[in-house]
C-alpha cells in the first residue's frame, strides 16, 4: 500500500475509534473514485460536523496546526492541518461556501468505504467544486454522476441549500443510481 494512504489511515482510524463521523472528499475522493492520479492529490481533505474540541481531543497525539478559514467564498467553521510523515491531511469542520450572499452548507455524507476510509459524496463535492469555481474537478464528478447515477436522498439534501438555479437544474436532471453502484448504507450528517 502507498505510504500516503497509510498516513491518511492513521488519522481516520483514530476518528473511527473515537466514533467521530467524517468523510474523505476533495482530491482524495477523486482518486478513490478513479478520476485522478495519486500524485495529483495535494492533501487529503476530510470533512466532519464534529466540534473542534472533539477533533482536538481525539487527534491530540498528532502534530497539527489550526489553519485560516472563512475567506470568501468559504464559510467553514474551522480547519486543522495534520502532517504525518510529510503527508498533509486537512480536517474541515462544517464545510460551507457562499454563493453570492447565500450560505450553502456542504454536508458530510458517507457513501462508501475505500481502503478502510469513509468516502464522501460525489454529489456534495460536485456542488462544492461548482461553487468554488473549480470547473475541471466539478466536470469530472458530473461525468461520474451521469454515468453511475446519483443518490436521490443526497440530492434532496443539497437542493435544500440556496444553490444557483443552473446547479439545481443540473442536480434535478441526474438519474438515480442503482444500488449495485454503491454501498446500500450511508450516513448523512445534518
Query: Which domain covers residue 35, as residue numbers?
Result: 3-188
Half-sphere exposure of 52 (CA within 13 A, CB side): 13
How confident is the model over 27-38, as a mean pLDDT? 95
> Is the pLDDT score of 188 beyond 60?
no
Q: Where are the beta strands (DSSP E) in the chain?
A: 23-25, 44-48, 64-67, 78-84, 87-93, 96-99, 102-105, 109-110, 112-114, 117-119, 187-188
CA distance 92 to 103: 16
- Give the domain CATH number at 172: 3.30.460.40
Looking at residue 137, what is its pLDDT? 97
> Is the pLDDT score of 186 beyond 50?
no
Q: What is the mean pLDDT of the chain?
A: 92
Chain segment 130-157, per-residue pLDDT in tens = 999 999 999 999 999 999 999 999 999 9
> Is the pLDDT score of 86 beyond 50?
yes
pTM of the model: 0.92
Looking at residue 177, what is its pLDDT? 87
CA distance 104 to 106: 6
**Distance in angstroms between the alpha carbons of the first and the last residue of the chain:** 34
Looking at residue 46, what is its pLDDT? 98
To the nearest 10 degrees (0 to 180), the angle between helices 135-148 and 122-132 is: 150
Total domains in the fold of the chain: 1
To the nearest 10 degrees (0 to 180), the angle between helices 165-172 and 122-132 is: 160
Amino acid at each position: 500500500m502507498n505510504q500516503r494512504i497509510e498516513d491518511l489511515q492513521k488519522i481516520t482510524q483514530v476518528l473511527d475509534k473515537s466514533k467521530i463521523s467524517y468523510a474523505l472528499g476533495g482530491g482524495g475522493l477523486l482518486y478513490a473514485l478513479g478520476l485522478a492520479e495519486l500524485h495529483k492529490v495535494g492533501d487529503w481533505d476530510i470533512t466532519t460536523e464534529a466540534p473542534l474540541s472533539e477533533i482536538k481531543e481525539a487527534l491530540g497525539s498528532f502534530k497539527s496546526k489550526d489553519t485560516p478559514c472563512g475567506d470568501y467564498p468559504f464559510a467553514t467553521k474551522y480547519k486543522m492541518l495534520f502532517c504525518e510523515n510529510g503527508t498533509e491531511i486537512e480536517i474541515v469542520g462544517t464545510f460551507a461556501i457562499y454563493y453570492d450572499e447565500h450560505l450553502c452548507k456542504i454536508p458530510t455524507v458517507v457513501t462508501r468505504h475505500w481502503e478502510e476510509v469513509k468516502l464522501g459524496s460525489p454529489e456534495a463535492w460536485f456542488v462544492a467544486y461548482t461553487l468554488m469555481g473549480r470547473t475541471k474537478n466539478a466536470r469530472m464528478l458530473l461525468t461520474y454522476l451521469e454515468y453511475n447515477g446519483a443518490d436521490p436522498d443526497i440530492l434532496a439534501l443539497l437542493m435544500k441549500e440556496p444553490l444557483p438555479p443552473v446547479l439545481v437544474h443540473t442536480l434535478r436532471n441526474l438519474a438515480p443510481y442503482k444500488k449495485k453502484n454503491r454501498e446500500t448504507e450511508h450516513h448523512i450528517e445534518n
